[in-house]
Structure 1
Amino acid sequence: MECKKEKNLERCTCTYSSCAKQGICCECIAYHLKSRQLPGCVFPADAEATYDRSFEHFARLVTSGKV
């Protein structure tokens, strides 16, 4: 499968600019799931900026209607 890194970068909302996985979604997702986290792109901008990418944080956002 061909990676579409450049196209992925057009819609990547991750603000962790030094991340080597930006635009390489399969690596990003695998990395975060190992730590019981979700990638920054599934969070609203204000929540992503906290760098709390935990499942629990995402669940709180869903429960409060922010996602």
Structure 2
Amino acid sequence: MECRKERNLKMCTCTYPYCEKKGLCCECVAYHRERGEIPGCFFPPEVEKTYDRSIEAFIKAYKR
């Protein structure tokens, strides 16, 4: 399967400036999954900017 990095970059909401996986969604998901985390693009912008990719942070962000 061919990666569409340039297309993905246009939609990527990750603000981490040193991310080597930006635009490489399958690598990003695998990276965070291995660490028990969730990729930044699943978080609301104000929470994504904290760089806390924990499952707990995700639940807290969407718990209302």
TM range, smaller chain: over 0.9
SS in 1 for 2:14: coil
Q: Quick one: which amino acid aligns to residue 13 of structure 1?
A: T
Query: Under a length normalisation based on structure 2, what TM-score does the superposition of the two structures give?
Result: 0.94
RMSD value over aligned CA atoms?
0.7
Q: How many residues align?
A: 64
Structure 2 partner of 1:25:
25
Structure 1: 5+ residue runs without aligned partners? none
Structure 2: 5+ residue runs without aligned partners? none
CA contact (8 A) 2:9 2:22 kept: yes
CA contact (8 A) 2:44 2:61 kept: no
Query: Under a length normalisation based on structure 1, what TM-score does the superposition of the two structures give?
Result: 0.90
TM superposition outliers: structure 1 runs of 4+ over 3 Å = none
**What is the CA distance between 1:47 and its match in structure 2?**
0.2
